[in-house]
Amino acid sequence: MAAQVSYSSTRGQSPELSFDDVLLTGLAPDGGLYAPDHWPTLSKAELKSLAGQPYQVIARAVISPFLDDTVSDAELGEMIDAAYGRFAHPAVAPVLQTGPADFMMELHHGPTLAFKDVAMQLLGHLFAARLKARGRQMTIVAATSGDTGGAAIDAMANRPGVNICVLHPNGRISEVQRRFMTTVEADNVLNIAVEGNFDDCQALVKAMFADVDFRDAVSLGAVNSINWARIVAQIVYYVSTSLTLSRDGEPVHFCVPTGNFGDIFAGFVAKQMGAPVGHLVVATNENDILNRAMRQGAYKPDGVIATQSPSMDIQVSSNFERLLYIACGRDAELVRELMGSLKEGGFVLPQNLRAAIAPDFSSYRASEEATAAKIAQIWRETGQLIDPHTAVGLVAADGARANGLKGTLVTLSTAHAAKFPDAVESATGVRPDLPARCRDLYARDEVMTVLPNDYAAVTDYIRKAFEN
């Protein structure tokens, strides 16, 4: 039996925790992110026996080494079966061949049509089980600019012990995104449309976490992408697909549309666990802080630009901190110093960190024009409609090929075209249909409350709904 994984903050000033506490804590009190103290590995024999197995079987093998003994293997298996039983495709993350050595992995077969469902569906079960075991109640509050809110509401609706409140910027998300949040009928769901932008929503949530009185009154919790359990659930599809496509252990490359660096970091972890993962290609839209960091070594946030791929409209890429922490040999003091300088406009990556990152990663940026042109090209050539986030990935994959990347390359398709119908229609002239399972989305009644961008107004409203 390998040593149980324990978790430390990337900033080194919080106590070490077990998985169970990391799940329910989210962000470390010192402002850092929790990261495992070592990588559990899958032996050659284990990997060989997992190749070609159903997604659920691979999920058990990949996820269980990160957990502690508070969740038994049998319990984990039941959660995985329930979570992925809600996916519309039996393969969960099916792979489509798009060229001689090019593939697309479809991660949008979950209930809200984006890859956030893969992690969030499992999180719903983990939260409910662990809160019940501890006899606790929790109110999860999240700010969303797009897909996280819908995935979280679907995963948490009607779960005992959990309340979920999502703040979105009023009038600034797509109608499909909004309806996935506002049409869920459940007593434990609260939708607040804030009269402001996404940054205002996020600032409100941050202020709630800093407000001890409010935090205790509602037992505040978080499921944003810094939650380690979400990363763990995402490792699975890199393991399953690399095992499916690798011949004789040859590495499989992945190209990942990236915002908060959570998804691509999961690919990096799959590689550390021993899966045949090769190069990881970062694909950004015009909000390209990661592309600049990878190429020029400067991690400097700019203003956020609104693009066709709004789920990647991000300037501070939270999970990049986890990569820095690993790349510098878990030197929390250095990470603390680098992240501290974000307030003064950013930092330059030390040369040894750049050298440590370079062998695993490369990076490309897709302009708005190139993204739209890619959606149109795929439609023309194959008759398939792809979403703008996926298109950003395919533009980056072209860049990697043009730069000489050889071997099998898998681009992640992170959302269904119907989730971003305006962008797809403007590129192709065709409006994508919702899949049959959610075709009634426009007919369902919406429930949400519009509130001013005012801390007292928002927190009073949440207290009235959910105070213990």
Ligand X SMILES: *Cc1c(COP(=O)(O)O)cnc(C)c1O
The residues of the shown chain that bind ligand X, judged by CB under 6 A, are 114, 116, 146-147, 225, 257-263, 311-312, 389, 414-415
Crossing angle of helices 421-428 and 368-382, in 10° steps, is 70
Beta carbon of residue 218, minimum distance to ligand X (angstroms, whole number):
26
3-class DSSP state for residue 41?
coil
The nearer residue to ligand X, 339 or 451, going by C-beta atoms, is: 339
Listed in sequence order, the DSSP H helices in 115-245 are 116-134, 147-156, 175-182, 198-210, 212-218, 228-245
Residue 108 and residue 143 in contact, taking contact as beta carbons nearer than 8 Å: no
Cross-strand bridge partners of residue 282: 256, 363
Beta carbon of residue 309, minimum distance to ligand X (angstroms, whole number):
7
In angstroms, the CA 322 to CA 42 distance is 21
In a 13 Å sphere around the CA of 278, the CA atoms on its Cβ side amount to: 19
Query: Which of 116, 271, 374, 419 is labelled catalytic?
Result: 116
The nearer residue to ligand X, 98 or 225, going by C-beta atoms, is: 225
Residue 312, both tokens? 């990647």
Beta carbon of residue 435, minimum distance to ligand X (angstroms, whole number):
15
Q: What is the dihedral of CA 288, 294, 300, 303, to 10 degrees?
A: 0
Residue 76, both tokens? 């984990």
The nearer residue to ligand X, 188 or 363, going by C-beta atoms, is: 363
Beta carbon of residue 13, minimum distance to ligand X (angstroms, whole number):
26
Beta carbon of residue 415, minimum distance to ligand X (angstroms, whole number):
4
- Give the Å distances, CA to CA, from 358 to 235, 271, 316, 410, 424: 21, 15, 20, 19, 34
The nearer residue to ligand X, 240 or 311, going by C-beta atoms, is: 311
The nearer residue to ligand X, 231 or 335, going by C-beta atoms, is: 231
Would you mind telling me the total number of residues written for the chain in this entry? 468
Residue 116 a catalytic site member: yes
Beta carbon of residue 396, minimum distance to ligand X (angstroms, whole number):
12
In angstroms, the CA 414 to CA 420 distance is 12
The count of other CB atoms within 10 Å of the CB of residue 444 is 14
Q: Phi and psi (nearest 5°) for 231?
A: -60, -45
- Say which amino acid occupies 424: V
The nearer residue to ligand X, 365 or 389, going by C-beta atoms, is: 389
In angstroms, the CA 270 to CA 210 distance is 34
Beta carbon of residue 180, minimum distance to ligand X (angstroms, whole number):
12
Q: What is the dihedral of CA 86, 35, 346, 287, to 10 degrees?
A: -20
In angstroms, the CA 166 to CA 460 distance is 15
3-class DSSP state for residue 365?
strand
The nearer residue to ligand X, 327 or 386, going by C-beta atoms, is: 386
Beta carbon of residue 192, minimum distance to ligand X (angstroms, whole number):
20
* Three-state DSSP string of 374-432: HHHHHHHHHCCCCCHHHHHHHHHHHHHHHCCCCCCEEEEECECHHHCHHHHHHHHCCCC
The nearer residue to ligand X, 47 or 280, going by C-beta atoms, is: 280
The nearer residue to ligand X, 280 or 462, going by C-beta atoms, is: 280
Residue 196, both tokens? 């402001």
- The full DSSP string for 37-88 is SS-----HHHHHHHTT--HHHHHHHHHGGGS-TTS-HHHHHHHHHHHHHTSS
Beta carbon of residue 237, minimum distance to ligand X (angstroms, whole number):
13
Residue 331, both tokens? 């030197």
Residues marked as catalytic? 116
